[in-house]
Amino acid sequence: MTTTVLETCGIQPPPCAADELSVPLSFFDILWVHSSIPVRRLIFYEHPCSNADFFETIIPKLKQSLSLTLKHYLPAAGNLLYPRDMENKPVIRYISGDSVPLTIAVSGCDFDDLTGDHARDSDQFYDFMPQMPPLIEEAEYKIVPLMALQVTLFSGRGICIGLSNHHCLGDARSIVGFMSAWASINKSGGDEEFLSGNGDSLPLFDRRVFGDSGRIDDIYWNVMKGIPLNPPSSFPLPTKKVRASFTLRQTDITKLKNLVLSEDPSVVRVSSFVVTVAYIWSCLVKSGGVEAGENVDEMLIFPADGRGRPNALFDPPVPVNYFGNCLGGGVVSVERKDLAADDGFLVAAAAIVDEMKKKIYNKEEFLSGQEKIVSEMRKYANMRMFNVTGSPKFDLTNGDFGWGKARKVENLSLDLKEYAITLSNSGGDGGGGLVVGMSLPKERMETFAAIFADGLNN
């Protein structure tokens, strides 16, 4: 079954929007400037509609609401200006006439198969994902687009919204905020309801929330400017991977928490995040077969939102409506053979709890040592990383365009990493648990699925 692109257009903010906006990059953003791989997400909505309704009603409304949303999110319609002389730092700039490319398509693919939890060929999902526009070379700057969107109709079954964005535009909280605003404006037919929310509704772009961070900005830029700026990457086809989702129900999570506490009753704050990530990590290593017995370190990296949280760097904390990147996080190291052992889950959980206690929950340590982050990244370069992306707190399924909550979200960026997962809240019969999204080679996925199920049954 094929997917056909019918239209590609540029959606501009309305004429009443500001003519220009220039946003400097913080050190949190500079870290992502050279990432040529966009963040790629697909949001599937179950919304049976005819072709006529889609083209005559839904698409015109989506275009209008997107334009109105961009009025409040001008950087999303802008570009990254990357200086050729390297003396100045990159900035995000919007000027009148800039736009977000929007692709309209129809597909004959099986909507129910695509939105299932079973293993599905990863390659087919790229039909619903827009390519980022090319990098533009000018005399003083290289101009890098920041966002592209696609809306695909599955006639009589549903709609998919595909979103590609450069990571320097913003982290998960920022992008989810943008999509939530678009959904709200589309559903209500205007931005009055969006604006009537509390003071956290409108995004804040002012980098002065970071205080006097110029020294850290310079440290990051002096390192990053030595890396070549590459154009946005094309789709990684063939991926040679399959995608699948695994649900940990609340009853499963409770049992895992109790297991940790039975091992060490003194442990505090055994969260759903801790036991879910620890369990998936140990199952992943065990699925490696012979290599699981190697005496080498496995690294876990997980993000933590820096907004609204007391920390060692900013006083007062960064406002929750700040738009951009503002991520701290943790790094955990455990020997591979220990993760693959029978008590690998408990070993992983203990290590994650310890890192959370030292680095995340301790305001004297959270966001401390930022000037060392770039240099420390080098020592992890040759280690295998297990990356946790996304967060149940920032869930794209909650955005309601007038079609109800999304049925499924797929993060295609997982295809480019050896080990990575996304976390989201479970709906339907999930019982308040968590859904783990993964992308692995087919045989590895089958082995992992068996270990995952067997572990919960025992």
Among 209, 205, 212, 187, which Cα is nearest to 61's? 187
Q: Positive or negative CA dihedral for 312, 316, 319, 323?
A: negative
- Report helix, strand or coil for 216: helix
Residue 420, phi then psi, degrees to nearest 5? -160, 150
Q: Which two tokens stand for residue 212?
A: 């006097």
Q: Which residues are catalytic?
A: 167, 400
Residue 367: alpha-carbon gap to chain centroid: 20
Question: Tell me, what DSSP letter sits at residue 263?
Answer: H
Q: Cβ atoms within 10 A of the Cβ of 152, count? A: 26
In angstroms, rounded to a whole number, what is the distance separating the alpha carbons of residues 68 and 51? 25
Among 153, 150, 106, which Cα is nearest to 8's? 150
Question: Tell me, what DSSP letter sits at residue 57?
Answer: I
In angstroms, rounded to a whole number, what is the distance separating the alpha carbons of residues 298 and 287? 14
* Contact indicator for 136, 143 with CB cutoff of 8 Å: yes
Helix 344-355 with 250-263: angle, nearest 10 deg: 80
Among 415, 457, 441, which Cα is nearest to 41's? 415
In angstroms, rounded to a whole number, what is the distance separating the alpha carbons of residues 328 and 158? 37
* Contact indicator for 363, 311 with CB cutoff of 8 Å: yes
Q: Which two tokens stand for residue 420?
A: 């990575």
Q: Which residue(s) pair with 158 in the sheet?
A: 46, 154
Among 290, 273, 374, 306, which Cα is nearest to 340's? 290
Longest dimension (CA), the chain: 65
Q: Which residue(s) pair with 163 in the sheet?
A: 41, 149
Residue 140: alpha-carbon gap to chain centroid: 31
In angstroms, rounded to a whole number, what is the distance separating the alpha carbons of residues 2 and 56? 22
Q: Which two tokens stand for residue 59?
A: 């698409």
Task: State which amino acid sits at residue 366.
Answer: F
